[in-house]
Structure 1
Amino acid sequence: MQKFIQTIECSVRYVKLQPDGRTLDAREVWLVEARSYGEAQNRLGLALSKYAQDGADGLFVQQMKSVYYAEHLTDEEAAKQRYWRVRVKLTDRNPDTGKESSVTQQWLVRADTMGRATKLATETMGDSCEMVAVTELKYNGYIER
């Protein structure tokens, strides 16, 4: 049984302090590894408190939803923080009956470009995998466990 990594997609709004002292009304989407919405909100508040004008108290989480990824892949040379959802189809053949079965998984890949994300996923896939789709995700960041 494949163990999926539970991540929670959080849409947040807060007053963000700029390096020059100005403030900006920020609306961002973050991905947080957490077991519950409460844990995700706490971890997000801690991570963003240094950027928020009033600390974690000025942070308003507008929406949360669970997203499950089977793999998290990162291009170590990635200069930009761009995220891609790669849908992969895994095919398996039962040796006794000869029947094929397939399942589709989502992988989260961090890479500069779609080409680099595709290359990283292709290098990770085995012979029984095929890539179905690659989609860019608009995440501002990822908070790991």
Structure 2
Amino acid sequence: MHRRAAHRHRFAARAPGRRARPDPRHHELFGQARRMNTHPEYVGGTGRDVTALMQALPGAVAKDGAEGVYALALPDGSAVALKIADGGERPRPVVVTAALRHLGVDVDSDPRLSALTEDPVLGHGQPVGAVRASALLGVTS
């Protein structure tokens, strides 16, 4: 019964003509985002793409996860969420920067971002190719 009452309360707070009460977790969530952006090296570690993205994009919050999962939120409210199908990490930064380009972020003006736009493929220590984004699929708005 408690769950049903809580659900009705949330629904009533959003009903037309009624003002929604602020979620008490709202303040803490913004505080957590601010801490992540202030110290991105604590989120992903030094030398990681997630750290470089947060350092290069002031106000952005990003987090990578297991099996090729990635989420990034920009201060303007736009966001990127992706899952690399085979769970690989190699294409992840390339796909994220392609998605940022699609959102209108100038990834070429910052060397930390432009370094993520392709990943060299080496053969016997020599470049033999590169992982590059050729098309952005599954874009929803």
Q: TM-score range by the shorter chain?
A: under 0.3
Normalising by the residue count of structure 2, what TM-score does the alignment of the two structures yield?
0.24
Larger Rg: 2
**Whose relative contact order is higher, 1 or 2, with alpha carbons under 8 Å and at least 6 apart?**
1
Q: Which has the higher helix share?
A: 2
Normalising by the residue count of structure 1, what TM-score does the alignment of the two structures yield?
0.23
Q: Which has the higher strand share?
A: 1
